Amino acid sequence: MEVLIHEASNRQEISASAPTCTVDLKSASKAKREDVDEASEITRKNDKKSIDIIFENITYTVNLGFRKGHKEILHGINGRLPGKQLIALMGPSGAGKSTLLDILSGFRVTGVEGVVLINGRLRHLNSFRKCSAYITQDDRVEPLLTVVENMRVSADLKLPSNTSRHEKEMIIEEILTTLGLYEHMYTRSGRLSGGQKKRLSIALELVNNPTVMFLDEPTTGLDSSSCMQVVNLLKILARQGRTIICTIHQPSASLFQLFDQVYVLAKGECLYQGATNKLLPYLESIKLPCPMYHNPADYIIELACGEYGEDKLDMLINGSQNGSNLQWFENSADLMDAKSLRAARPLLNKFDDNSGLHATNLAHQIRILLRRGFIMCKRDTTLTHLRIAVNIIVGIMLGSVFLRSGADGSRVLDNYNLLFSILIHHMMTTMMLTIVTFPMQMSILVKEHFNRWYSLKAFYTAITLIDVPISIICCIIFSLIVYFMSAQPLELIRFFMFLAISMLVAFIGQGTGLMIGAVFNVVNGTFMGPTLAVPLMMFAGFGVSLRDLPNYLKWGSYISYLRYGLEGFVGAIYGFDRPILDCKEKGELYCHYRYPSKFLSDIAMRGDQFWNDIIALTMILIITRCGAYLFLRWKIVSYR
């Protein structure tokens, strides 16, 4: 396929490689579009390449919970969404418009019954997803990246790998120019206005030139001027050959007139579908005329809410035949049925088995996501600067409190407390940081993963690898400060044993945080993290020795990674036949723990289990990382 890019100066055509099922994307001659009439400058696409959507008898049922039964949200509705149209799904809150949008886009598949036809053929979901884009109500863009950086990530992931950098930059420039974002290309996304963020969300999905675009409440939170700009933009995109479908709650009269077609829902049933300018004749035909000087959009919503009586709803549903009546479309006689569409429109190309559902391979996706992640890490003060600072400050504090405790036989118990404090530090800082930050990435992940930017494996691999350097740096800095301030044994092998245990505990804490963050939101996750940490500490053998644990609780010591971490620390510091310790406490006639073997005996630990602890921690690390991935996959599937 070719994406035709028209330059305003010389109108030259430049060919660029793009995925299958695309339509022509033309640049505008001006940076901003204020009026839909300027769409005439954009070359329109052949009608055979546009997509018509037909849905029949769509029913959606949700499970209310254990022993609470089921609830039907959509009740056998029908509809027709022609190509080259800007279509509004309207209705009061709870009418089912967002649910219908999710079903039509393929975002929601569980609990759905009925038929969705694409150009008269049964929808092949994977093929359809390659030709469509879903833009969520909240603007899910990376706030730490600039506009052009976000666009480059999108281009690198959504266009084939063999597309040249020059072609990608040309496509990005033309899209930003058309959407009025060219002047803001070096502005961080988090600093954009609401309307600019909305346009950026649209721009990111235009990179691979989708044929169908679904937008959930694109005008929510915008002022009237921004609303008009966004809807004008959608009108232009529809005129280029796309099918644009968006939910909208209650538009103004001027905004309402910009839509070509409207589909009105109430309580999961269709009240009207057809041309916007035929809504008033339809209402007059069923004896529900719109009052003079009344906004038709407001009036139909008032009817849908039952303000004029519930019997009016039945009249509207019967009048639209729950979406089967097509007589109120513009040029309704020219609408082709499913059989005619099959003959007139080409079959959507099946996705390439070499790349699957995505435009690029797994290695390329990981490389791009790593590049994006490192840029974000450099700019995120919480993940980098603050994290390093905290490790330095806490290391100095612990080193000061337990100054030279590692070399004093009379302070062995103090040193034991220090080792446990170090474990808690490594566990809590990494776990709680991940619990807080990971749910924030979930919304972006859901949007980008559904829109075929990358696979879940690529995303999870990237976030795992991105944090490795900063985690290692923090661990090394903290360990150097604490180890030498507390005068632990000055033997290189013992230091590296201490550092290895620290790193494994930190990585396991991060994996635990990923599991919690994948399942719970920020509020519930910050409660669950410390709550789960308490039994882990109890089973570690601190405060209560392992030999004193009741038999019915001994199993806990085998699953607590803090137990293996503490045992590994003790083995590194006091094991492997460490010589007799000096007792430096003045006036101390008897030094109970000057012999390390005596201390090991009292806490029921052996000093030669270090490598067993390493193996156990490595296994737990693998389990937590795999568990986090499985929980993440379950979470993604649960959205559907």
pLDDT digits (tens, 9 = 90+) for 141-152: 999 999 999 999
Position 352 in a domain: no
With residue 274 as reference, give the H or E element that holds it: strand 269-275
Contact between 28 and 38 under an 8 Å Cβ cutoff? The reply is yes
Position 349 in a domain: no
Last-in-domain residue among 307, 339, 371: 339
Mean pLDDT throughout 225-244? Answer: 90
Q: Are residues 304 and 367 in the same domain?
A: no
Q: Are residues 331 and 368 in the same domain?
A: no
Mean pLDDT throughout 394-411? Answer: 92
Q: Are residues 193 and 294 in the same domain?
A: yes
Q: Are residues 19 and 133 in the same domain?
A: yes
CA atoms within 13 A on the CB side of 93: 0
CA atoms within 13 A on the CB side of 105: 28
Instruction: Locate 86 and state its tokens.
Output: 């800007």
Distance CA 75, CA 53 (A): 19
Mean pLDDT throughout 371-387? Answer: 86
Position 345 in a domain: no
Distance CA 237, CA 284 (A): 32
Last-in-domain residue among 282, 304, 339: 339
pLDDT band at 21 (very low <50, low <70, confident <90, very high): very low
Measured torsion, CA atoms of residues 467, 470, 473, 479, in degrees rounded to the nearest 10: -70
Q: Could you identify the residue written with the tokens 């709650």?
A: 249
Burial of 35 (0-12, 13-18, 19+ CB in 10 A): exposed
| Mean pLDDT value across the chain | 86
Looking only at the bridges linking them, the beta strands covering 86-90 and 70-81 are unpaired
Q: Which segments of 486-593 does DSSP mark as H helices, in order?
A: 492-519, 522-538, 555-559, 561-574
Distance CA 297, CA 636 (A): 36
Residue 353 has pLDDT above 60, yes or no: no
Residue 41 has pLDDT above 90, yes or no: no
Contact between 434 and 517 under an 8 Å Cβ cutoff? The reply is yes
Instruction: Locate 439 and state its tokens.
Output: 């749910």
For residue 220, give its domain range. Answer: 5-27+52-339
Q: Are residues 584 and 619 in the same domain?
A: yes
Q: Are residues 182 and 105 in the same domain?
A: yes
Residue 11 has pLDDT above 50, yes or no: no
Position 236 in a domain: yes
Number of domains into which the chain is organized: 2
With residue 78 as reference, give the H or E element that holds it: strand 70-81
Q: Are residues 634 and 546 in the same domain?
A: yes
Q: Are residues 106 and 228 in the same domain?
A: yes
Q: Are residues 334 and 380 in the same domain?
A: no
pLDDT of 64: 84
Q: Which segments of 346-491 does DSSP mark as H helices, in order?
A: 362-379, 385-401, 412-450, 456-485
Contact between 6 and 15 under an 8 Å Cβ cutoff? The reply is no
Instruction: Locate 33 and state its tokens.
Output: 């579009």
Mean pLDDT throughout 249-277? Answer: 93
Q: Are residues 374 and 326 in the same domain?
A: no
Position 354 in a domain: no
Residue 543 has pLDDT above 90, yes or no: no
pLDDT of 122: 92
With residue 245 as reference, give the H or E element that holds it: strand 243-248
Q: What are the backbone angles phi and psi of residue 13, rounded to the nearest 5°?
A: -105, 130
Q: Could you identify the residue written with the tokens 């139909």?
A: 300
CA atoms within 13 A on the CB side of 61: 10
Residue 321 has pLDDT above 90, yes or no: yes
Q: Which segments of 12-124 does DSSP mark as H helices, in order?
A: 97-105
Mean pLDDT throughout 517-525? Answer: 90
Q: Are residues 404 and 532 in the same domain?
A: yes
Counting every residue written for the chain, the total comes to 640
3-state secondary structure of 348: coil
pLDDT band at 546 (very low <50, low <70, confident <90, very high): confident
Last-in-domain residue among 339, 374, 393: 339
Q: Could you identify the residue written with the tokens 């009105």?
A: 264
Distance CA 318, CA 308 (A): 17
Residue 39 has pLDDT above 60, yes or no: no
Distance CA 184, CA 332 (A): 43
pLDDT band at 350 (very low <50, low <70, confident <90, very high): low
Query: Among residues of the chain, what percentage have pLDDT more than 70?
Result: 90
Mean pLDDT throughout 78-86? Answer: 93
Q: Are residues 413 and 448 in the same domain?
A: yes
CATH number at residue 159: 3.40.50.300
* Least confident segment among 9-18, 334-343, 446-455, 515-524: 9-18
Residue 493 has pLDDT above 60, yes or no: yes
Position 324 in a domain: yes
